[in-house]
Chains A and B, each alone.
Chain A
Amino acid sequence: MTQLSVPAIPADPGVDTGSGRRRRGRSSAADAARKKLTSPWASLVAVILAVLWTLPTFGLLVTSFRPEADIKNSGWWTVFTNPTFTLDNYQTVLGSTGQDNLAPYFINSIAITLPAVIAPILIAALAAYAFAWMRFPGKNTLFVAVFALQVVPLQVTLLPLLELWVDMGINRTFWPIWLAHTMFALPLAVFLLHNFMREIPGELIEAARVDGAGHVTVFFRLMLPMLKPALAAFGIYQFLWVWNDLLVGLTFGGQANVNPLTVALFNLTGTRGTAWHLLSAGAFVSIIVPVVVFVALQRYFVRGLLAGSVKG
């Protein structure tokens, strides 16, 4: 086979870097280096880095719970000497009726993200199966072509697509955003799912085929259940990509009924750039979803990340 090699989605749990488990009695190069670097200093550097990395987020999180007047008149670090907290900011961005209410955009983000994650998975699974287990002329060339499309940057496609949506009369609905995210996800999705499918032993497929099962049956009964980890890895990668996207939402959204949360926040930084009580609470409303997903599914997330590192 001249297929491309299996990508960097190591299926072995050793890559699950989220867990600090190490086999006893084993030591690595890094281990040795660390010990020789006189541990107290190493620890100090690590702690300093960790604090530097956490402090910006922590500061904004604290701010989101402070009264508007306090935010304007004193730094967030003063809460340690003068603690006053409130949920007003969250009430404003989630429950108010004014234009500061971000709740509709939160709904938009959900309405955008679910189809934009599920559609490419379904469609790519079909194509990946054909590439992995069916025979047809020009297969390898076509597979390489699909894989190669990963290099196309979104920017190259945006303007012609916008014109297409206008011609089709679906501009300013969710459809352009769903379709665009689906299209952009396909090269990576097909590539990843194909590689996972190739790892399933051929004898299993052959046995089912000999028993008279058609490709459709094999696809449903055999492939989809076995592919769960792969689907999860890609699904989480795609989820974070879509939920956190600004470019596609900004280009194809453009109105309140459709704009995702990222676009609403972006607009807020433009129009109310100093309204930190809104920005801080709004930012955390948008951040909390991917962070929960990340904490709950860290394992798959890291895999998807490794796999997605070639996406263009």
Chain B
Amino acid sequence: MHLAVAATTTGGKLLTMLIALIAFAAVVGIILFLAALAERRGRRQTAWLFLAPTLVLLVVGLVYPAGRTVVRSLYDAAGSQFIGLHNYLTIFSSDEQLVVLRNTVLWVLVTPFVATVIGLIYAILVDGARGESFAKALIFLPMAISFVGASIIWKFVYEYRDHIENLLPGQQQIPQIGLLNQVIVWLGGKPQQFLIDSPWNTFFLIVVMIWIQAGFAMTILSASIKAIPAEMTEAARLDGVGAFEMFRFITLPSIRPTVVVVLTTIAIGCLKVFDIIRTMTGGSFGTSVVANEFYTQSFSAGNQGLGAALAVLLFILVVPIIVYNVRQLRASEGR
């Protein structure tokens, strides 16, 4: 089949892309044509024609694979022998996997809280200020950058150059090229290997996620703050309410549902965080998390049973947060 051969030239790739676009459009065109035909004959199955591509793709791409993964998680590494819940037992008992779980908990607890607090403070500080949109864009821009790009940016900040303990006369330290280590040197400290020294390295990875997500929190909280009715704040102001009370009794209660949505959304992102860890440490030095460990076990360590169990665990952890999130979202919409 010609289409199944990967093109190697720029022209070939773009041609393949064009063919794919035409193919996708043709599917939609054929469906609309059939629907028009069916309608003219007064048939009523038009709806199923409209739904067909979506339903087929969802069953093939999500429902069936998810089912297979659940079954796979009950088998051994090679997928040949049924071992019940043994893989899940491994996740909760082996030393390596417990570190993975610990890190995942750290990510999910620390990141949403810190990112939301920073986002909220910044949203309040720049609200109505001159150059507000520019100030917001600065914080928000990391959202547009890929996790891989963000990881490279921060890896450079953390870059470490060998530190010589006992300098010979006339010898000089190798200059640091990572900003953070240079700041430490300027302050008279000793350069650190931020990404290697466990368990603190996990926190330095979390910083990257906070850097990305604070903009998200800021944007959504800012929209929510601006939606607080002016009459409410005006009345409070006339009553002589101070800044802190205003925040505590007016702002915070008004935006509470949004804060919860922001917290849970970032928490979901943290549960599934993969790119940052893969790019910055590859999960070494005790920094792995569930989503990364899934990839390692499935695609490099060759333990597909354990990989599947980790994927299912991720699924199980995500579901309650999303359900809660959707309910909060609806609650905040209802206001």
A151 at the interface (CB under 8 A from B): yes
What 0/1 readout, one digit per residue, does chain A (1-13) give for beta carbons within 8 Å of chain B? 0001111101000
24 residue pairs of the A-B complex, CB under 8 angstroms, read: A20-B129, A27-B233, A28-B127, A28-B228, A50-B139, A60-B152, A71-B177, A77-B179, A107-B10, A123-B24, A123-B27, A126-B50, A127-B53, A151-B315, A155-B291, A157-B61, A175-B3, A178-B20, A179-B57, A269-B148, A269-B280, A270-B282, A279-B156, A309-B261
Contact A151 B318 (CB under 8 A): yes
Q: How far is the CA of A129 from the CA of B48 in the complex (A)?
A: 11
The residue on B at minimum CB distance from A155 is B311
Contacting residues, chain B, for A219 (C-beta < 8 A): 32
**What is the minimal beta-carbon distance from B21 to any residue of chain A, in angstroms?**
5
Surface stretch bound by B, among A82-90, A92-100, A164-172: A164-172
Q: How far is the CA of A30 from the CA of B230 in the complex (A)?
A: 11
B110 at the interface (CB under 8 A from A): no
B97 at the interface (CB under 8 A from A): no
Surface stretch bound by A, among B86-94, B99-107, B163-171, B216-224: B216-224
Q: How far is the CA of A130 from the CA of B45 in the complex (A)?
A: 11
Contact B20 A77 (CB under 8 A): no
**What is the minimal beta-carbon distance from A172 to any residue of chain B, in angstroms?**
6
Q: How far is the CA of A45 from the CA of B244 in the complex (A)?
A: 17
Contact B182 A123 (CB under 8 A): no
- Given A151-B322, A214-B36, A312-B318, does the pair A122, B65 have CB atoms closer than 8 Å? no
Contacting residues, chain A, for B28 (C-beta < 8 A): 122-123, 126
- Given A27-B233, A28-B225, A75-B179, does the pair A312, B51 have CB atoms closer than 8 Å? no
Residues of B within 8 A of A (CB): 1, 3-8, 10, 13-14, 16-17, 20-21, 24-25, 27-28, 31-32, 35-36, 39-40, 44, 46-48, 50-51, 53-55, 57-58, 60-66, 68-70, 72, 118, 121-129, 131-133, 135-139, 141-149, 151-157, 159, 175-179, 182, 211, 214-216, 219-220, 222-223, 225-228, 230, 232-234, 236-237, 242-244, 246-247, 250-251, 254, 261, 265, 268, 272, 274-275, 278-280, 282, 291, 294-295, 298-299, 304, 307-308, 310-312, 314-315, 318-319, 322-323, 325-326, 329-330, 332-334
Contacting residues, chain B, for A15 (C-beta < 8 A): 223
Extra inter-chain contacts (18) besides given A186-B54, A283-B153, CB under 8 Å: A33-B246, A53-B211, A75-B179, A115-B21, A122-B24, A126-B28, A130-B47, A134-B47, A158-B311, A160-B69, A160-B72, A214-B40, A257-B13, A269-B151, A290-B145, A294-B143, A298-B137, A305-B219
- Consensus secondary structure, chain A interface: helix
Most interface-central of B27, B39, B51 (chain A CB within 10 A): B51
Q: How far is the CA of A284 from the CA of B298 in the complex (A)?
A: 31
Q: How far is the CA of A182 from the CA of B56 in the complex (A)?
A: 12
**What is the minimal beta-carbon distance from A220 to any residue of chain B, in angstroms?**
8
Contact A149 B24 (CB under 8 A): no
The residue on A at minimum CB distance from B124 is A30
Contacting residues, chain A, for B58 (C-beta < 8 A): 146, 149, 183, 186-187
Surface stretch bound by B, among A198-206, A226-234, A240-248: A240-248
